[in-house]
Amino acid sequence: TSSPHYDFVIVGGGTSGLVVANRLSELHNVTVAVIEAGESVLNNFNVTNVMGYSTAFGTQVDWAYQTENQTYADGLQQTVRAGKALGGTSTINGNSYTRAEDLQIDTWEVVGNKGWNWKNLLTYYKKSEGFEVPTEDQIAHGANYNASYHGLDGPLKVGWPYSMTNSSVFHALKDTMEKMGMNYNPESEGGKMVGFTVHPDTVDREKNVREDAARAYYWPYETRSNLKIISNTRGNKIIWANSTAGGDAVAAGVEVTTEYGTEIIYVDREVILSAGALRSPALLELSGVGNPALLGQHGIPVKVNLTTVGENLQDQTNNALSWAGVDTVTGLATFSALPSVNQLYGDKADALAASVKSQLASYARTVAQASNGVLKEANLLEAFNLQHDMIFKSQVPYTEIVFSPLGQSFAVEYWPLLPFSRGHVHIRSANASDLPAINPNYFMFAQDAEAQVTVAKYIRKSMATAPVSGLIREEQSPGLEVLPTDASRETWDKWVKAHYRTNYHPVGTLSMLPREKGGVVSPELKVYGTKNVRVVDASVLPFQLCGHLVSTLYAVAEKASDIIKESY
Ligand code: FDA
């Protein structure tokens, strides 16, 4: 029998990978294979149930990666969840659909990625979206939209579950947040996110099930004979051709391990890595693309010297408070407040801007040192200055606060959106079955921890403001015995670090940036030094976003698919 071969081999059938698989297999004359470590979850209730957030955690569909001990967070580890299934992390996530601040996407172009800006990406957000226009009743409960920002014909169903109309707290929260100085934002998907909003979800409203990447981009197309899903199969590494193309390494295939053993799947055109921000870097390193010092430690021959593979890891940190509720609230409705730094810090914002500005050079030095000099201070400083401008000059949202009243409990979780901390992810060994070593360096900088405290205090103040104050009883967690109103900064800091979790938004580990700025992929998402290897997943986002990630990842993968198609 002849060896299997395809025009395109995609490693990782997750959120991004299935978009690319779908769009490339629209071309009848090409063949596409997707290698996915997990399997179908079409009938897994922990996945499909729109009220089932977190029920899939710790099951066989969760990679449940463990971080290294976190030096700046009392040495504790974190569990970083990620989906191991056809559909990837979109099968276990919180279903929130929020995009980004327009300026943040424009920044990608500012730093050297031609063609990557909000205006252009908006066409791809819309291309991916099958917007479910809210009913009158849903609008009365906080759903809203401006038609010019939505696509009606894309594969991904986006809208509000009908059950949101059981909720009675929208008006109370809206009034309270207005008193806190925050306006209701009827449309947060148009690039302006500051305000109080009831954003849509990735949900199939009619079937009342989660809309994940497989449901949107694979199952309706499963009969395509040129699209092959190879599930329960791990991609180990890229196999290279003996000859190069003008000095660039040429991928000939992918070594995979199934339950029956290890084999090679050959590729005629391209390998596309879509294994997620915590795994695509490992696939490159196992293939000999990375930092020669690290590859040498593991006895892996260097194919491409690209020192920044796995660096620039940016994630967020999440804490929660909760109150006993007075009203029993049913249905599924989540409400988000996205205040700017001025709304949070009030008249202290200017002093904070100056203080953070004066520390940016030292932030850059610390991150560069933590990368063993692989990242350059000047590049980091450029990125941090842009981030500072976004926060303090452009006033993008500084934190997201999510109110989840349900039954007798009123939970409020939050995460500062743009921490300065950066870490890395690298292989532990040359064995592809070993999970990578992940070090996000949470709370590397005092301001990242300080923000975590300030937002918690802001939430307490909001919850004590009428009319919401009338809907709740005592604070249950952490509670005033644990954290009295006048608790010291130290006590707060301890609470934050003992109870935070990752916000599960790792990005940046194979950043799309010019090579001289520490980038790993070009604006065409091609890995520098290779002829036919691209990356399409959260790894390529050069900077953290104010939105949740999937909407942007679907858009990026749609654009990537066009780029790949145009190149042939
Ligand atoms: P993704 O993880 O989707 O895909 C990678 C795929 O590659 C997986 O299917 C994996 O099994 C596979 N794979 C990995 N290694 C492999 C190998 N060696 N061989 C073969 N296959 C391999 N975002 C949002 O927008 N709204 C939200 O509400 C939330 N909430 C949320 C909650 C939780 C708990 C998490 C963990 C994450 C979120 N997110 C979120 C984030 C969001 O879901 C996430 O960023 C994207 O789904 C990531 O998409 P990717 O395509 O990058 O990787």
Domain boundaries in the chain?
1-66+76-138+201-281+508-568
Look at ligand 1, atom 18, and give the residue with the nearest C-alpha. 235
pLDDT tens-digit series, residues 31-76: 999 999 999 999 999 999 998 999 999 999 999 999 999 999 999 9
Look at ligand 1, atom 39, and give the residue with the nearest C-alpha. 93
| CB of 16 sitting under 6 A from ligand 1 | yes
Please name which of 461, 15, 472 lies closest in space to residue 210, comparing C-alpha atoms.
15
533 DSSP β-pair partners: 271
**Whole-complex ipTM:** 1.00
Q: What SS3 state is found at 54?
A: coil
What are the residues whose beta carbons fall under 8 Å from the beta carbon of 77, sequence distance 6 or more?
A: 66, 67, 68, 69, 70
pLDDT tens-digit series, residues 286-315: 999 999 999 999 999 999 999 999 999 999
pLDDT tens-digit series, residues 92-134: 999 999 999 999 999 999 999 999 999 999 999 999 999 999 9
| CB of 436 sitting under 6 A from ligand 1 | no
pTM: 0.98
Please check whether residue 561 is in contact with residue 24, taking contact to mean a CB–CB distance below 8 angstroms.
yes
Query: Which atom of ligand 1 is nearest the CA belonging to 85?
Result: 9
| CB of 202 sitting under 6 A from ligand 1 | no
pLDDT tens-digit series, residues 439-476: 999 999 999 999 999 999 999 999 999 999 998 999 99
Cα of 82 to ligand 1 centre, how many Å?
A: 5
| CB of 36 sitting under 6 A from ligand 1 | yes
Catalytic residue set: 505, 548
Question: Taking CA 191 as the corner, what is the angle to CA 185 and CA 194, rounded to the nearest 5 degrees?
Answer: 40
Low-confidence winner among 90-104, 319-333, 420-434 (lowest mean pLDDT): 319-333
Task: Report in angstroms the alpha-carbon separations of 315 from 80, 326, 443, 444.
Answer: 10, 35, 10, 12
Determine the number of helices (DSSP H) and then strands (DSSP E) in the chain: 15, 23
Residue whose CB lies within 8 A of the most ligand 1 atoms, among 10, 11, 15, for a mutation test? 15
Please check whether residue 253 is in contact with residue 264, taking contact to mean a CB–CB distance below 8 angstroms.
yes
Query: Which atom of ligand 1 is nearest the CA belonging to 81?
Result: 36
| CB of 426 sitting under 6 A from ligand 1 | no
**Phi, then psi, of 467 in degrees rounded to 5:** -85, -10
Residues 130-158, mean pLDDT to the nearest whole number:
96
| CB of 90 sitting under 6 A from ligand 1 | yes
Helix axes 489-499, 446-463, angle to 10 degrees: 100
| CB of 537 sitting under 6 A from ligand 1 | yes
CATH fold of 1-66+76-138+201-281+508-568 reads FAD/NAD(P)-binding domain (3.50.50)
Cα of 13 to ligand 1 centre, how many Å?
A: 10
Work out the pLDDT band at 328, boundaries 50, 70, 90: low
The reported pLDDT for the residue numbered 169 is 87
Percent of the chain scoring above 90 in pLDDT: 94
**Phi, then psi, of 359 in degrees rounded to 5:** -100, -5
Residues 366-389, mean pLDDT to the nearest whole number:
98
Residue whose CB lies within 8 A of the most ligand 1 atoms, among 19, 550, 553, for a mutation test? 550
